[in-house]
């Protein structure tokens, strides 16, 4: 099991894990086919199809209510889908065949609101699942956790409680906690939208570090400059559809679809011409 080898760099291991997994017959990490999802009468996702290759970094942008979050939540099975198929590394995961722990070994999720466990120390936040789910001993789990905390620059906070941390620190702990399960894919659902502007940078830095390590990632974000820098591909979603996708340069400089053009023009008007302000807040912090 790859988790046992994970020592200092969790990410190298997850790449190793990918190649050693017998179920990997093709290069696709995420395959979504004909996905429909609605909440009651409100249709949120309409016939979404999407494929993310192993090691690829995909950013998803688009206005609030476009279905970006719901797409990520369907992929990690937080939402049941109405119809369609979702495959993670060739395994169909949208049904109830897989346990939560099966899914957790494949995909980690980062929430806008961090969702750290407030009654546990930072270290215990990181070790709970590896001990209870992966069956690691306390020593192994703590060793891994400390290595991950070091990676996100918070090893001195191991005994702190989440309420003693800043938002940026909370999100970095949440990222370390997700990595402690050695998932093959990481999903980020607006990871910086709930943060004070001055704390966004430290979180983006950690995410950029993951990108460099070759992790397969899907990042829902309003940080356009960041998306432009780190992504292999950018998806623009609106009204439950993937309106346009392509290389970040193409999407940001010469979008073809009018809907995309309007969205980006509005952003430009809002944020200034260059899209350079990496720590600007996105338009929405709903539910904050």
Note the residues at the interface with another protein (CB under 8 A).
76-78, 99-105, 107-109, 111, 113, 115-119, 128-129, 132-133, 174, 177-178, 181
Least distance between another protein and beta carbon 246 (Å): 29
Instruction: Specify the residue, 77 or 280, whose C-beta has the smaller distance to another protein.
Output: 77
Spell out where the chain has E strands: 28-39, 42-53, 57-61, 83-88, 91-92, 107-110, 185-189, 216-220, 233-238, 241-246
251 CB burial (10 A radius; 0-12, 13-18, 19+) = buried
Chain-centroid distance, C-alpha 11: 14
Least distance between another protein and beta carbon 101 (Å): 4
Contacts with 100 (C-beta within 8 Å, 6 or more apart), sequence order: 77
Least distance between another protein and beta carbon 252 (Å): 30
Least distance between another protein and beta carbon 164 (Å): 13
Residue-wise over 83-121: b if at least 16 C-beta within 10 A, else e?
ebebbbbeeebbeeebeeeebbbbbbbbbbbbebeeeeb
Contacts with 198 (C-beta within 8 Å, 6 or more apart), sequence order: 279
Instruction: Specify the residue, 119 or 273, whose C-beta has the smaller distance to another protein.
Output: 119
Q: In Å, what is the CA distance from 202 to each residue of 65, 146, 175, 226?
A: 27, 19, 12, 12
Instruction: Specify the residue, 73 or 228, whose C-beta has the smaller distance to another protein.
Output: 73
Instruction: Specify the residue, 152 or 225, whose C-beta has the smaller distance to another protein.
Output: 152
Least distance between another protein and beta carbon 155 (Å): 21
Return the structure tokens found at 43.
């249709």
Least distance between another protein and beta carbon 228 (Å): 27
Least distance between another protein and beta carbon 128 (Å): 6
Instruction: Specify the residue, 134 or 200, whose C-beta has the smaller distance to another protein.
Output: 134
Instruction: Specify the residue, 220 or 242, whose C-beta has the smaller distance to another protein.
Output: 220
9 CB burial (10 A radius; 0-12, 13-18, 19+) = middle
Instruction: Specify the residue, 68 or 177, whose C-beta has the smaller distance to another protein.
Output: 177
């Amino acid at each position: 099991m790859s988790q046992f080898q994970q020592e200092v760099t969790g990410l190298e291991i997850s790449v190793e894990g990918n190649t050693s997994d017998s179920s990997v017959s093709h290069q696709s990490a995420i395959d979504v086919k004909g996905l429909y999802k609605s909440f009651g009468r409100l249709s949120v996702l309409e016939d979404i199809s999407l494929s993310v290759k192993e090691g690829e970094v995909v950013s998803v942008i688009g206005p609030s209510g476009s279905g970006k979050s719901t797409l990520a939540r369907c992929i990690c099975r937080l939402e049941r889908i109405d119809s369609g198929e979702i495959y993670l590394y060739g395994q169909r995961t949208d049904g109830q065949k897989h346990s939560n722990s099966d899914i957790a070994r494949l995909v980690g999720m980062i929430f806008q609101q961090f969702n750290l466990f407030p009654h546990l120390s930072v270290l215990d936040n990181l070790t709970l699942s590896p001990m209870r789910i992966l069956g690691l001993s306390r020593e192994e789990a703590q060793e891994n956790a400390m290595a991950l905390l070091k990676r996100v620059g918070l090893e001195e906070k191991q005994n702190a409680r989440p309420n003693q941390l800043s938002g940026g620190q909370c999100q970095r702990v949440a990222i370390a906690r997700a990595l402690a399960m050695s998932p093959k894919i990481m999903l980020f659902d607006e990871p910086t939208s709930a943060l004070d502007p001055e704390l966004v940078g430290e979180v983006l830095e950690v995410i950029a570090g993951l990108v460099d390590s070759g992790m397969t990632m899907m990042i829902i974000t309003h940080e356009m400059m960041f998306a432009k820098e780190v992504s292999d591909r950018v998806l623009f979603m609106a009204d439950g559809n993937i309106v346009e996708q392509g290389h970040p340069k193409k999407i940001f400089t010469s979008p073809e679809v009018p809907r995309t053009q309007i969205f980006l023009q509005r952003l430009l008007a809002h944020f200034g011409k260059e899209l350079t302000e990496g720590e600007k807040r996105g338009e929405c912090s709903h539910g904050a």
